[in-house]
Structure 1
Amino acid sequence: MSRSQSRIVGLVVVAMLLAVPYFLEEFWLQMGLFAMAAAIAAIGLTLLSGVAGQLSLAHAFYIAVGAYGYCYLAGDSGSDPGLDLPSGLNLPPVLALIGAVLLAGVAGALFSPIAGRLRGIYLGLASIGLVFVGQHILRAASGVTGGFNGRDAEPFSVLGFTFDATPMNVLGVEYHQLEKLWYLGLLFVAAGAWYAHSILGSRPGRALEAIRDSEVAAAVMGVNVPVYRGAAFVVSSMYAGLGGVFIALAYQRIVPDTFGFLYSLDFVVMIVLGGVASVRGAIVGAAVVICLPQLLDHYATSLPLVAAAGDDGLQPTDASRFLYGGAVVAVLIFSPGGLAGLARRLSPRHTKESTA
């Protein structure tokens, strides 16, 4: 496929994504929002684990920092003690978003000294501790997090435009909250993918790849290994924080159980399925992992072996984990580059080069 053809395909895909809210029902839009939120965070884990080669199983912790950080910074100050609501700083949503992303980055920076001393599976095991510590804090600090009951997320607004349930009429077409958030999510995913590609094509990206391949060789070439390893954690955490903010906006209410250890494992599956060093693969992997259980639940009554939620039998969530667990094994055996690597191998350009 030539460059001009790739651009045409890209424009067609963009046009389709922009037109989606005109045609899809609420279920599909909601599922798309969840996939977008996961895609943003998955790009960050791709930079950390796929590009820099640092295993982290704490991504759910940083996502929670972003989600709860936004809810606290943008939330009401809790001036009425009789309602027993979690407190907040009542900042403008834009400032709350920026602050939540920065909080997640600070959390990553605080963990980076530990990450600098550990490698491989030991780093992964150490990072798991963050998830359990985070779960305890989210349940115990009820004045900020709402405890087990969680807390609501303030609608996002910028320049007087609010992404809430108030209908907005544009050229005779009504846009509700899901439609508004759809376009906000597309903007966040596009910006996150663009920035990640910019990193990969720059000197810091090449330095991170050198560290992944051999830290000794990277140090010999003049790469400041501890600084770059720490920077990778900070950037990855900030991506997770932004993903957490959008998760809060999409769910409208967040609870601690959302950000458990299994959620961290889901992100590892996303980048493995998509391709551990591929930004596009991370987006595709996020869509697969997030959408599959919801599709199985939606069509449970029409599928064999899958029971509807609440009925006896194989639940949609468990069925989806079996399916993409098998997919991960298949990818590792037959296509280590993930879906992105498979797409490159099947592309006409690769076929011509291999037969030349």
Structure 2
Amino acid sequence: MAIATAVLLLLALPFYVSSFWLQTGLFAMAAVIGAIGLNLLSGTTGQLSLGHAFFLAVGAYGYVWLAGDPSGTGTSHLSGLGLPPLVALVLAVALTGAAGGLFSPIAGRLRGMYLGIATLALVFLGHHVMLNAREITGGFNGRSVPAMELFGFSFTDTSPAGLAVLGVPFGGLERLWYLGLALVAVAYLTARNLLRGRPGRALAAIRDSEIAAAVMGVPIARYRSGAFIVSSMYAGTAGALLALVFKRVVPDHFGLLLSIDYLAMIVIGGLGSVGGAVAGAVFVSLMPQLLTKYADHLPLLTAPGTAGSGLTPGDAARYLYGAAIVLILVFAPGGLAALAHRRPRSRNDTARRNGRLPLLHRTTSEPQGAEALSSKEHTP
């Protein structure tokens, strides 16, 4: 019932919320897809990656280049292959998987901080390429993103123009909303099925003990490389969706801070949990927006631009966001997923924890005193 209610709520949101919240929600959907992929790599397999932003950039620029106008007559005057947008999206994800495959031999042999530093180099290398490969990326100014189309239906404000559903105008954001929901559903179900099958058990065994996994016949290097490729493909899907929402991609969108945000998502949500990755991505994506938008209503704040040393709403939003992260990590070390699975503690559990109740105690249904002796005498 809870899942069905959540699905119905997400399907109905475009009819009630403004374009600002639709755009914020689409950013959160892209974050959910990328966080699920990173959680498969870091949470389930135990491989630290700081290069997730690089693979998001490959997916975003790959889609733009594959679907771009081959004549170069657009506003950016940059050419592309002119493929259909759906084909370009699929090939952009495959291109990201190929990029992950090129790096997978390194990922199969490194672990821990060594792998983290190696993937960190990808971010700086990718930023350099995005700035200098101007024929493909547009350089510092970036390039515009071709609109997504499915069987002649455009996910923009036009074609068909003036589209309305139940009296509500359906523009580009409303149409992209349902495309984002479909991508999130596919990403979520694929990850759940992967973790519940044999590959998921093998990846968890590698995370817990490589020696034990090798003894059981798990090819460690191959599974590590496979996890890296799958994670990069998730990142490519998220990058393509981000590009469709931004409508213009620039290199500054895919810096080191983006990789750190994704790492924070899976830690806050809960390592190794698909639902935790979803919750962490939504938290990191929406919480700063909510605090920034409603921080003006907090008391004892100084208006922006006012002379003095008071606390502005922007500063208060940042402090509250940091405090919320600290509280989650302190009181829920396992992340938001651990809070969802925590069972309520009974009075006996509390008494046992405080040392007032032994672990093995007599229940009220057992005979006591003389009744216990007589029952023992009549027992054959």
The normalised TM-score by structure 2 is 0.84
Structure 1 counterpart of 2:46, one-letter code? G
Identity of aligned residues (%): 56
In structure 2, do the counterparts of structure 1 residues 301 and 327 end up closer, same or farther at CA, with 3 Å as the change threshold? closer
In structure 2, do the counterparts of structure 1 residues 321 and 99 end up closer, same or farther at CA, with 3 Å as the change threshold? farther
Of 261, 269, 282, which residue of structure 2 is paired with 1:266?
Answer: 261
What displacement does 1:102 show?
A: 0.7
State the SS of the aligned residue for 2:77: coil
Q: Tell me how far apart the structure 2 counterparts of residues 313 and 271 of structure 1 sit (CA, whole Å).
A: 34
Of 113, 117, 120, which residue of structure 2 is paired with 1:125?
Answer: 117
Of 129, 141, 144, which residue of structure 2 is paired with 1:149?
Answer: 141
**Cα pair 2:295 2:317 within 8 Å, conserved:** no
What displacement does 1:159 show?
A: 1.8
The 5-angstrom pairing of residues 97-246 of structure 1 reads 97-166=89-158, 167-246=162-241
What displacement does 1:302 show?
A: 3.3
Which string of whole-angstrom CA distances, capped at 9 and with x for unpartnered residues, describes residues 263-289 of structure 1?
100000000111111111111111111
What displacement does 1:326 show?
A: 4.3
Q: Tell me how far apart the structure 1 counterparts of residues 92 and 283 of structure 2 sit (CA, whole Å).
A: 27
Structure 2 counterpart of 1:184, one-letter code? L
Structure 2 counterpart of 1:123, one-letter code? L
State the SS of the aligned residue for 1:299: helix
Q: Name whichever structure is richer in helix by fraction.
A: 1
Q: Tell me how far apart the structure 1 counterparts of residues 288 and 235 of structure 2 sit (CA, whole Å).
A: 22
Asked whether 1:45 is paired with 2:38, we answer yes
Gaps of 5+ in 2: 351-358, 360-380
Q: Partner residue of 2:376?
A: none
Structure 1 counterpart of 2:33, one-letter code? I
Q: Partner residue of 2:273?
A: 278
Structure 1 counterpart of 2:172, one-letter code? Q
What displacement does 1:345 show?
A: 0.4
Q: Tell me how far apart the structure 1 counterparts of residues 236 and 339 of structure 2 sit (CA, whole Å).
A: 30
Structure 1 counterpart of 2:331, one-letter code? F
**Cα pair 2:72 2:80 within 8 Å, conserved:** no
Q: Partner residue of 2:25?
A: 32
In structure 2, do the counterparts of structure 1 residues 255 and 208 end up closer, same or farther at CA, with 3 Å as the change threshold? same
**Cα pair 1:272 1:328 within 8 Å, conserved:** no
In structure 2, do the counterparts of structure 1 residues 104 and 251 end up closer, same or farther at CA, with 3 Å as the change threshold? same
What displacement does 1:125 show?
A: 1.1
Q: Provide the aligned C-alpha RMSD in A.
A: 2.7
Q: Partner residue of 2:336?
A: 339
- Larger Rg belongs to: 2
In structure 2, do the counterparts of structure 1 residues 189 and 90 end up closer, same or farther at CA, with 3 Å as the change threshold? same
Which string of whole-angstrom CA distances, capped at 9 and with x for unpartnered residues, describes residues 297-347 of structure 1?
33353346587599998788876665555444444443221001111105x
Of 62, 86, 109, which residue of structure 2 is paired with 1:69?
Answer: 62
Q: Tell me how far apart the structure 2 counterparts of residues 67 and 318 of structure 1 sit (CA, whole Å).
A: 32
State the SS of the aligned residue for 1:91: coil
The normalised TM-score by structure 1 is 0.89
Q: Tell me how far apart the structure 2 counterparts of residues 214 and 310 of structure 1 sit (CA, whole Å).
A: 57
In structure 2, do the counterparts of structure 1 residues 308 and 20 end up closer, same or farther at CA, with 3 Å as the change threshold? farther
**Cα pair 2:56 2:235 within 8 Å, conserved:** yes
Gaps of 5+ in 1: 1-7
Which string of whole-angstrom CA distances, capped at 9 and with x for unpartnered residues, describes residues 170-194 of structure 1?
3544311111111111111111000
Higher mean C-alpha deviation, range 275-284 or range 168-177: 168-177
Structure 2 counterpart of 1:15, one-letter code? L
**Cα pair 2:270 2:277 within 8 Å, conserved:** yes
Structure 2 counterpart of 1:220, one-letter code? V
Q: Tell me how far apart the structure 2 counterparts of residues 79 and 54 of structure 1 sit (CA, whole Å).
A: 41
Structure 1 counterpart of 2:234, one-letter code? Y
Q: Tell me how far apart the structure 1 counterparts of residues 348 and 334 of structure 2 sit (CA, whole Å).
A: 18
**Cα pair 2:288 2:321 within 8 Å, conserved:** no
